[in-house]
Structure 1
Amino acid sequence: MTNPFSGNTQIQVVSTFSELVDANFQGEMNALCWSRNLPGDFKEIVAKLDLEENITEVSVEDLLALQLSEQGHLAREIILKDMQLLTDYGASPSLNLLKCYERDDEFDFISTDVYSYHVDRSPIETDTFLCTYHGAASDILPNDQVEQKILIPEIREQLKQLHEGPETEFERFLEEYFFDLHYQAKTDAKPVNLGLGNLWRLAVDHPTQQALPCVHRAPVESDGEYRLLLIC
């Protein structure tokens, strides 16, 4: 089967979890993909879980309590193994059943929700891991195909009007309210969809990062279809 990510300089494809966590981000490469074609019925798991809010965190106990078919059991074992691998690595994986994320509609000239292209930032060395088992999957973009929203003149001007403090504190204001983390796709941008079943490791903006942080966004969910997402 042809790998859909081959030839993409932003993405390095690996075949094991150890390769995923041991590789170093460098140059244009800021996204690592453990490419997988997973067996099992993840849709059955989604159908049997209870959505309590728009986002419901699913515990290991919740998963183990489900009465599943053979294919559903296979899917559950894969999720549990992924969670254990990430936990053993030192991460804190969260399995989420998602109807939708909260929308940011406070300002009509800039959006800062996860549906907007953005990067993750951390004060300590860390990475973002994610895997979509069911539903719509996230997109990423190369850094040369986006423009930081705060550098777009008309947006920057409106942010300056929003900021009521001295000009010397403007940049700190942009960071404090996370405006600087968001990006706009250029007109010729070609998003890469992360697909189902692949476990991804994305570069985060932190003090020792050697590569540019990975620009990504959450997908607009399909009508009536929940997402099952592992993230940390």
Structure 2
Amino acid sequence: MKNISLPENQTYCVASFEDLVSTPFHGEMNAISWTRELRGDFSEIVHKLELKENITVVSQENLFELELTKEGQLAREILLNDMKLLKAHGASPTLNLIKYYEMDDTYPFFPTDVYSFHVDRSPIPTDTFLCTYYGEASEILQNSQAEQKVLVPEIREQLKKLFQGSDEKFESFLSEHFFDLHYQAKTNANLINLGIGHLWRLAVDHPESKTLPCIHRAPKEKTGEKRLLLIC
């Protein structure tokens, strides 16, 4: 698999936050990017923040407490403004400083952590917003180049052995344990890197959705390098 430029049929680029939140998903298009080249030194913020756990939630107060150079201050203003815009839109943004995510080894043949390609699901209409300001960027996978893991015969057989219940309740079992949210890339599939500084809106699986949910995953972090990620 390799990283490529954005396919026009699935992704769409806009030039403002207003267009990001108002452009409707339709057809195969399920990922919209507010494409930006950000000013400021985000690495300064990352290195001055205290990482208390593998993932530390960074509050606005944490950002205000940092003594920063002019470039660091520019980066802080962008972070605060992005959170302000998303809150005004009705979202609940969280800024995370990430060393690494916990990996799921409950079922070695079927990890369900965020490093696995997956879609988000909600009982109400909503979208996923995310932006990587520093570190490795998130990735998405074209729906046409992915297959739902629960439909892969070998994996499905192992899940049935794990379930050991009636066929009528098997699908409910898959949903209750979130197995049906996970995908794997087809042979020679092309990964789409979301890049640094771009604020993305991804389609979610919900009852009123008019497009397929966007398949995405967290990247494997580089050794010793943290990520600064805004997500909601």
Superposition TM-score tier, normalisation by shorter sequence: over 0.9
Aligned residues: 229
Percent of pairs identical after alignment? 62
Instruction: Give the corresponding residue for 1:181.
Output: 181
Kindly report structure 1 stretches of 4+ aligned residues shifted beyond 4 Å: 4-7
Q: 1:60-139 counterparts in 2 under 5 A?
A: 60-139=60-139
Structure 1 position 164, deviation (Å): 2.6
Seen in structure 2, the aligned counterparts of structure 1 residues 176 and 7 have a Cα distance that, compared at 3 Å, is closer
Structure 1 position 143, deviation (Å): 0.3
Moved more, 53-62 or 105-114: 105-114
In the superposition, the TM-score normalised over structure 2's length comes to 0.97
In the superposition, the TM-score normalised over structure 1's length comes to 0.97
Instruction: Give the corresponding residue for 1:40.
Output: 40
Task: Give the partner amino acid of 1:224.
Answer: G
Seen in structure 2, the aligned counterparts of structure 1 residues 27 and 73 have a Cα distance that, compared at 3 Å, is same
1:150-188 deviations in Å (ceiling 9; x for gaps): 000000000000003222100000000000000010012
Seen in structure 2, the aligned counterparts of structure 1 residues 6 and 142 have a Cα distance that, compared at 3 Å, is closer
**Would you say the 8 A contact 2:6–2:192 is kept in 1?**
no
Q: Runs of 5+ in structure 2 lacking a partner?
A: none
Question: Secondary structure of 2:164's partner?
Answer: coil
- Distance between the aligned counterparts of 1:158 and 1:219, measured in 2? 27
Task: Give the partner amino acid of 1:15.
Answer: A
Q: Runs of 5+ in structure 1 lacking a partner?
A: none
**Would you say the 8 A contact 1:135–1:228 is kept in 2?**
yes
1:189-228 deviations in Å (ceiling 9; x for gaps): 0000000000000000000000000000000001100000
Structure 1 position 7, deviation (Å): 4.9
Instruction: Give the corresponding residue for 1:14.
Output: 14
Seen in structure 2, the aligned counterparts of structure 1 residues 177 and 6 have a Cα distance that, compared at 3 Å, is closer
Structure 1 position 5, deviation (Å): 4.8
Question: Secondary structure of 2:56's partner?
Answer: strand
Question: Secondary structure of 1:174's partner?
Answer: helix
Structure 1 position 8, deviation (Å): 2.4
- Distance between the aligned counterparts of 1:189 and 1:105, measured in 2? 25
Structure 1 position 117, deviation (Å): 0.4
Q: Could you say what the CA RMSD is over the residues aligned between the two structures, in angstroms?
A: 1.0
